[in-house]
Amino acid sequence: MTWQTRFSLAGKTALVTGASSGIGTAIAEVFADAGADIAGHGRDADRLNALGERIQSTGRGFAAVTGDLTGPTETEAVATQALEAFGQIDILVNSAGVALTGPAVDYDLADWQRTLAVNLTAPFILSKALLPGMMQRKQGKIINISSQTGVIALQDHAAYATSKGGLNALTKSLMTEAAPHNVQVNAICPTVVLTEMGQELWSASEKKDPFIARTPLGRFGEPVEIADMALYLASPASDLVNGAILMIEGGYSSI
């Protein structure tokens, strides 16, 4: 098997949540470039349609999937739409997320509940819906887009960090059930990534500069860098990687 084959997603179908923006868009585009058909989930119909046009122009299939990930019924419907579009889903990427930050002592309970619903409960529901098919076929990949704040502390991120720490734990727990069926479950923990959301939250120099100064590489991440890691985890090249919590944060957590 050549290296191109080892990193190919030809013949695979992937459900990517949060595909209408940021990291999710980059993952959908990179996966399609590697040969996968994409069920792209998002809240922005115009952006999803534009993404679909770009992907279909490369000869790959695309299905736009809509649904609010804050409720279990709506989240289950996302999995159903993806399955109806392609018959089976070989790769699930839980990329959709919300970052509602603020001091814990003043934090609104509704924001806490929304954060956990989108960042943690939705990945569980989608995995629960799609994992049985992967296990039955004896192959599949689940990739959770977590955060370095799921591993290290960051001020004003109590809800976000809790959701991502829980996602890391879910990754390892699902792995123990999926591994005997040749299904790999892994998580990516990025630093701040320069998506629209990342730029909005980290544009102020008084917040940005100390963080970058604390990062050995001296910069934030780009969406395609996370997408490239996701491609590795989605491809046959990573079949031995299972239950990994992969830090991609310029060395921040190493010092």
Residue numbers annotated as active site: 160
Instruction: Report the amino acid identity of residue 212.
Output: I
Cβ neighbourhood burial of 30 (10 Å; 0-12, 13-18, 19+): buried
**What is the C-alpha separation between 117 and 72, in angstroms, rounded?**
9
b vs e for 59-91, b when ≥16 Cβ sit within 10 Å of the residue's Cβ?
ebebbbbbbebbeeeebbbbbebbbebbeebbb
Write the DSSP string, 36-65: -EEEEE-S-HHHHHHHHHHHHTTT--EEEE
**DSSP-derived 3-state class of residue 216:** coil
**What is the C-alpha separation between 176 and 105, in angstroms, rounded?**
36
CA dihedral 180, 163, 144, 77 (to 10 degrees): 90
The token pair that represents 4 in the structure block: 């191109």
Q: Are strands 37-41 and 62-65 parallel, antiparallel or unpaired?
A: parallel
**What is the C-alpha separation between 14 and 143, in angstroms, rounded?**
11
